[in-house]
Structure 1
Amino acid sequence: MAPSLEEPTPVDYEALKGGKVKPELVAPEPEHCPGPESERAGQADSCAGCPNQAICAAAPKGPDPDIEVITERLAGVKRKILVLSGKGGVGKSTFSCMLAWGFAGVVGLMDTDITGPSLPQMMGVLTSTIHTSASGWEPVWVTSSLAVMSVQFMLPDRDAAIIWRGPKKNGLIKKFLMDVSWGDLDWLVVDTPPGTSDEHLSVNALLKGSGVDGAVLVTTPQEVALLDVRKEIDFCRKAAIRILGIVENMSGFVCPGCAHESQIFRATTGGAERLAREEGIPFLGKVPLDPRIGMAADYGESFLEAFPESPASVAIREVVRRVGVEVERV
């Protein structure tokens, strides 16, 4: 049976929480809620007029008790990386899929783009659903070594819209980390939506106990994309997220027939390589645009396996290698 979007999965983790539980709220958390466990709960400006104000003010303060549960749940995950971009349309989700296909070992791919889940289509499991077991929610296994979790698996039909405010989206992300039976993974790749908002803060805060190994930033060469990536770099530094490096995606166009490369999105200000040099962070490489990447995503196939000789495949595998080197670097 597929899990409901409304009701929590009845998995008992109270023994791991040490008796600490969240306060029972009488209304949903407002959009700018500091959180029931925050030191400012019930006292922030956004708490004025909230039906939960008195409850939150009297509730125990401190870190979210579920962080301990999540840490225990992810004990078998060796490495966790975030794929970020302040700009939409730079191929971040596509790149997340190619990272997942490229990593060796057992890989988990988590889709935190709650309102625009595209990973199931790209991984060829759009019609799948998730199921519950004694150990929690079971992710969808694309292969014997690649698992995916997305809200798309829980929708009544493929075109249903998710119209949620921040707290509800954050709650689902918590369930993806706390209730999903990921098992033993070599890599957990977390694909995030554009920007530096709720989903990013939630993932970083909830993985505080188990640790995030770092973030890969994806951009295209033009300045309009780099402008937002600079904000993402600032976000990572303020949130204490290690930046593994920047990837310049769609860096030129490779003709599948003649292998000639053309510059479609010209790097007017030096592109991602110059930005990485200026910011003192690793540059992971340039990945040219091959139209067969989009075709492989539409059909839910691995571009790396279907077209291993493409210059894009060669570049992606080099990026995967460099990410592995950066993760292992102390």
Structure 2
Amino acid sequence: MLEGVKHVVLVLSGKGGVGKSTVSTQLALTLKEAGFKVGLLDVDLCGPSIPYLLNLEGKDVHQSTKGWVPVYADEEQKLAVMSIGFLLKNRNDGVVWRGPKKTGMIKQFLTDVVWEDIDYLIIDTPPGTSDEHITVMENLRSVKCDGAVIVTTPQAVAVDDVLREVTFCRKTGIPIIGIVENMSGFVCPTCSECTNIFSSGGGQALAEMVKVPFLGRIPIDPAVGKLADKGQSILVTLPDSELARIFRRLIEQITRSKEA
């Protein structure tokens, strides 16, 4: 099923709650707006938030003679989405599985989903560097992985955890496309001033330390938060925002790594 996938990009972080799913969703939407055919795979089995972020909750995955048919987020079928969230009877059901069952489900996502011919497969991963990540890499051996976008928040405790993800990438041979510093300051909805309520610069310092590209800082912006469950690209709704500029830069970096 992966033979029709031209390029694979992982979204990683050693820390939970840093915004990987938001970055994955906006990256997929940005690529779609750029004219590419995109697949978005949510392998965070215990916290599948992609269906919510793309306003696809309640949609069903269908079985065909070839395998599972993903859910499409648009009428043109340029954005295909797969998540365990589509397989749960109730959105509040917890996935209480041991490692082997989670590993088996991820293998099915990678081998039994009819992705067909897509330009990019974006894989939203859970936090950490354990079973799920190893399973993804084992099943991507036949497909060239373009690299990983690593997401962190600026606090020192988050940066320390994310550093372990950088080590994981280098041990497994995953190229690092760059580091994004999320939740870097808060943008006031009244005056648009950005206040560093947590701290700032941790992601940039990490990028400089491990010598990988720094892709930019994403502030906490209430205007962006309103788009959380609407499945809309930031390039369309807020084209002049800092977030839109970061994702344009990210697309350029991904394209550059593809050409290299």
TM-score bin, normalised by smaller chain:
over 0.9
Distance 1:242 1:311 in 2: 25
1:240 maps to 2:173: yes
The correspondence of residues 40-189 of structure 1 with structure 2, limited to 5 A, is 73-103=1-31, 104=34, 105-143=36-74, 144-189=77-122
Alignment-derived partner of residue 289 in structure 1: 220
Aligned pair partner of 2:209 in 259, 275, 278: 278
Distance 1:231 1:115 in 2: 21
Q: Given the two structures, how large is their TM-score scaled by the length of structure 2?
A: 0.93
Q: Is the 8 A contact 1:289 1:312 kept in 2?
A: no
Alignment-derived partner of residue 157 in structure 2: 224
Alignment-derived partner of residue 59 in structure 1: none
SS at match of 2:229: helix
Sequence identity percentage: 51
1:101-155 CA-to-partner distances (Å, cap 9, x unmatched) read 1113101000000111000000111110100112210000001211100001011
1:206 maps to 2:139: yes
Q: Given the two structures, how large is their TM-score scaled by the length of structure 1?
A: 0.74
Distance 2:156 2:259 in 1: 31
Distance 2:135 2:156 in 1: 29
Distance 1:321 1:264 in 2: 30
Q: Is the 8 A contact 1:244 1:327 kept in 2?
A: no
Distance 2:215 2:234 in 1: 19
Per the TM alignment, residue 301 of structure 1 is displaced from its structure 2 partner at its CA by 3.1
Per the TM alignment, residue 258 of structure 1 is displaced from its structure 2 partner at its CA by 2.7
Paired residue type of 2:30: G
Per the TM alignment, residue 160 of structure 1 is displaced from its structure 2 partner at its CA by 1.2
Q: Is the 8 A contact 1:142 1:148 kept in 2?
A: yes
Q: Is the 8 A contact 2:146 2:257 kept in 1?
A: no
Per the TM alignment, residue 95 of structure 1 is displaced from its structure 2 partner at its CA by 0.6
1:249 maps to 2:179: no
Per the TM alignment, residue 310 of structure 1 is displaced from its structure 2 partner at its CA by 2.3
Q: Is the 8 A contact 2:234 2:243 kept in 1?
A: no
Kindly name which structure, 1 or 2, has the bigger radius of gyration based on alpha carbons: 1
Q: Is the 8 A contact 1:117 1:151 kept in 2?
A: yes
Distance 2:159 2:57 in 1: 32
SS at match of 2:114: coil
User: More displaced, 290-299 or 110-119?
Assistant: 290-299
Distance 1:190 1:322 in 2: 17
Residues matched between the structures, number: 255
* Residues 176/97 of structure 1: CA separation in 2 closer, same or farther (3 Å cut): same
**Can you give the 5+ residue segments of structure 2 that lack an aligned partner in the other structure?**
none
Q: Is the 8 A contact 2:188 2:221 kept in 1?
A: yes
Paired residue type of 1:81: V
1:304 maps to 2:235: yes
Q: Is the 8 A contact 2:43 2:106 kept in 1?
A: yes
Paired residue type of 2:238: F
**RMSD of aligned Cα (Å):** 1.4
SS at match of 1:213: strand
Per the TM alignment, residue 97 of structure 1 is displaced from its structure 2 partner at its CA by 0.3
Q: Is the 8 A contact 2:11 2:24 kept in 1?
A: yes
Structure number with higher relative contact order (C-alpha < 8 Å, ≥ 6 residues apart): 2
